[in-house]
Chain A
Amino acid sequence: MATIVVKRPKLKWWEKLYLPALIGGIGVTIRHFVRTLTGRTKVTMQYPEEKWNDHLPEWYRGAPALVTDEQDRERCVACQLCEFICPPRAITITPEEIASDDKWAKVEKRPREFEIDMIRCIYCGLCEEVCPEQAIFLRQEYAITGTSRAEMVHDKKKLYEIGGKRVGLVNKWNALK
């Protein structure tokens, strides 16, 4: 078996005293102390007032949310594929028919209620991947808190609030198909 023989460094007599190294170390500490006091370095993030958002990559997988398109149409058509694919069964959708006098009546279907149980959600992103309408995206929201189980369920209103508007996606429901 191959062995590596490590040669111990031969210390000088003043190195064996450890005092110069000790003083040097205290020097570093004092320098940081002074720089922090004078505000030249900043090492503490004031969480939760301050968030990680600026440091997160674009593809960060946070809370899933629903988005609307340029014309403020809700993109989700309640096909329930995300409900089907969701491994922890966090998603519950109740579909409804869009009234015939609605501007988007030809889309015919939308969710009446869309609930994601954030206690169950495992942030896997399969819902985003399976969505045929580009309606659900994992956003950079990661601090999901609540004081009860009911509060941890994101309803449709909350999901659109997190998701906001997304532009530049395929708009297959516009005039020409």
Chain B
Amino acid sequence: MSDEQKPAVEMVDVQIDGEWHQFPKGTRMIEACRQAGRDVPHYCYHPKLSSPGNCRMCLVEMGMPPRPRPGEELKPDEDGHLPIQWIPRPAIACANTVAPNMGIRTDSELTRACRHGVMELLLINHPLDCPICDQAGECRLQEFSVEHGNGASRFRENKVKKPKNVAIGPRVRLDDERCIMCSRCIRFADEIADDPVLGFTDRGSHTTLAVHPGRELANNYSLNTVDICPVGALTSNDFRFQMRVWFLKETESICTSCGRGCNLTIGGREGEVHRLTPRQNDAVNSAWMCDHGRLNFHYLNSELRLTDPLIRGEAGHETATWAQALKTAAAALAGFGPNEVAVIASGRLTNEELFMARQFAAAVKSEFIDIVPRLGEADDYLAAADRNPNTLGAKLILGLENPGAGLKSIRDGIAQGRIKALVALQENLVDDAGFSAGDLGKLEFLLATYPLANPTAEAADVVLPGAGFAEKRGSMINLTGRLQRLNRAHAGPGQTREPWEILRDLIQELGGGNGIYRADDVFAAMAAEIKEFAGLKLADLPADGVALLDTGETVPLLDRERERKAKGVIVG
């Protein structure tokens, strides 16, 4: 759907701060200014939501050609532009669209005075909470206060008291004194999450954001309201008081909690993930993500993390070096004949890791390789039924028709004694793949990699600590067939290694050198073998990924967004 196929949109000339630009008819003034490099400060405007125009921060000076007197003709200048008559009252840039020959001043005396006044009014009742406010450091009110504010308050009365620290839902906390009544959260709950439980009560400076009596903001997308809140009125219970935002190192990655692959930013500090926030990608997740995916990172900071390779000795598992563990594993695996070893990979592995798993299966001469399917419930928004983030990658790279179909034959093989050794890559076979402890007990050798201690690791002869999603680099293919990259926020704890590294070293121990040093090398090897990846490079993948396969999968939330955009309700 390229732009050329659509009917040509009429372009209008607009003067912004003295320079003439061209924009398609219907462009909002605020977007026109942004495209012209003159950002207009705003609170209530959000491109994915309707524009009520209630914060007044985006007021700009606007002008149109004057209406000529009867018989008079306006004389265009040499470029064909008519003279502009500036309107003495300012206009909001967020809800008005550009018009032919319109003039906008984003830095005039009137505009500056408007911003100054709006800031002063917004700050009148705002508490001096910044030292304890989680938003401090990424707060629009702080930023615009520095840019457009007064520096000192002229307000000598007592500030209005409002409810503080109110639990409006299981995951969201509200501080009404900090609220600036932008209504973004109300519109999000109503328009995007279809859960209109928020609203304003009372009037004037007593206006209070409240949740409907007897209801709570409990939907699976509630934490997005915390993201879009320009101030610290809505804070996340999970992230509250955990870490100040200016300490967080931000890494662009993707969510691995389901097949949607929502784009996100990992906020981490010194080897610990503190929060995940959605990153805009209009082809995947718009600007949102679900609460489940957003909070599904705490296991990375768990006390159950495996930090060292373990080898089973006479007195249980003993800590070993990587060299010892790899040597022990390879020596054991080399002792089995063809098809006596089975490999259970995971739909949570990256393409690179799956490719190495395929190489590894070939190195141990095994045809038994499969992934563990993981099915949940899809909702009508973003969450997909397939809870594996890279099922398509597994299908493509491992050549699986029906992922999970081979698990039964592996279990039967173990029961009948045909399969004597098992390699579980980042999967907990006992809890997730339907293996019983008895199945695993029949094995002569079990190798397990996983970030956490689990029953499979307990039964394993060699346990290798594999990195979690924030600790590895690689690519995944989401359900719409989009190839997206995970970036490494930090190294895993202790001796943790990325699964592709573990597999590379195992293959090397089994006698195959491969010249692979980085995840990028694995991708290059993969691109040379699998035609879908041909011509791509891991490092060159754009931040929002590339469309790789055509699966016909649609995202309900994005469909609705497109509809609303076509109607002109949102900018999109």
For the complex formed, measure the closest distance between the CB of B9 and the CB atoms of chain A, giving whole angstroms: 48
* Contact flags B96-129 to A (C-beta < 8 A → 1, else 0): 0000000000000000000000000000000110
In this complex, what residue of B is CB-closest to A105?
Answer: B165
State whether B165 touches A95 (Cβ < 8 A): no
The reply to whether the CB of A80 lies closer than 8 angstroms to some CB of chain B is: yes
Partner of B131, one of A81, A96, A105, A177: A81
The reply to whether the CB of B299 lies closer than 8 angstroms to some CB of chain A is: no
Task: Give CA–CA (A176, B165) in the complex, Å.
Answer: 18
The reply to whether the CB of A149 lies closer than 8 angstroms to some CB of chain B is: no
The reply to whether the CB of B416 lies closer than 8 angstroms to some CB of chain A is: no
State whether A84 touches B244 (Cβ < 8 A): yes
CB within 8 Å of A: which of B155-206? 158-159, 164-165
Most buried by A among B127, B130, B131, B158: B131
The reply to whether the CB of B20 lies closer than 8 angstroms to some CB of chain A is: no
Partner of B132, one of A77, A83, A177: A77
State whether A77 touches B127 (Cβ < 8 A): no
State whether A177 touches B159 (Cβ < 8 A): yes
Partner of B241, one of A84, A95, A132: A95
The reply to whether the CB of B240 lies closer than 8 angstroms to some CB of chain A is: yes
For the complex formed, measure the closest distance between the CB of A71 and the CB atoms of chain B, giving whole angstroms: 18
Task: Give CA–CA (A176, B159) in the complex, Å.
Answer: 9
Residues of B near A113 (CB, < 8 A) are none
The reply to whether the CB of B302 lies closer than 8 angstroms to some CB of chain A is: no
CB within 8 Å of A: which of B469-483? none
Most buried by B among A79, A83, A106: A79
* Contact flags B245-265 to A (C-beta < 8 A → 1, else 0): 011000000000000000000
In this complex, what residue of A is CB-closest to B246?
Answer: A84
Partner of A80, one of B127, B128, B165, B247: B247
Quick one: given A133-B131, A176-B158, A177-B128, are A97 and B247 in contact (CB under 8 Å)? no
State whether B241 touches A96 (Cβ < 8 A): yes
CB within 8 Å of A: which of B493-508? none
CB within 8 Å of A: which of B122-144? 127-128, 130-132, 136
A interface, size bucket: 20 to 34
State whether A97 touches B241 (Cβ < 8 A): yes
Task: Give CA–CA (A86, B442) in the complex, Å.
Answer: 58
Task: Give CA–CA (A133, B127) in the complex, Å.
Answer: 14
Task: Give CA–CA (A106, B162) in the complex, Å.
Answer: 12
Residues of A near B5 (CB, < 8 A) are none
Task: Give CA–CA (A172, B127) in the complex, Å.
Answer: 10
* Contact flags A73-96 to B (C-beta < 8 A → 1, else 0): 000011111011000000000011
Residues of A near B127 (CB, < 8 A) are 177
The reply to whether the CB of B2 lies closer than 8 angstroms to some CB of chain A is: no
Contact sample, A vs B, 19 pairs, CB 8 Å cutoff:
A77-B131, A79-B130, A79-B131, A81-B131, A83-B247, A84-B247, A95-B241, A96-B241, A100-B165, A106-B164, A106-B165, A107-B132, A108-B132, A108-B165, A108-B241, A109-B132, A109-B241, A132-B131, A133-B131
Residues on B lying within 8 angstroms of A by beta carbon are: 127-128, 130-132, 136, 158-159, 164-165, 240-242, 244, 246-247
16 further A-B contacts with Cβ under 8 Å, apart from A78-B241, A84-B247, are A79-B130, A79-B131, A79-B136, A79-B244, A80-B247, A84-B246, A95-B241, A96-B241, A107-B132, A108-B132, A108-B165, A109-B132, A109-B241, A132-B131, A176-B158, A177-B128
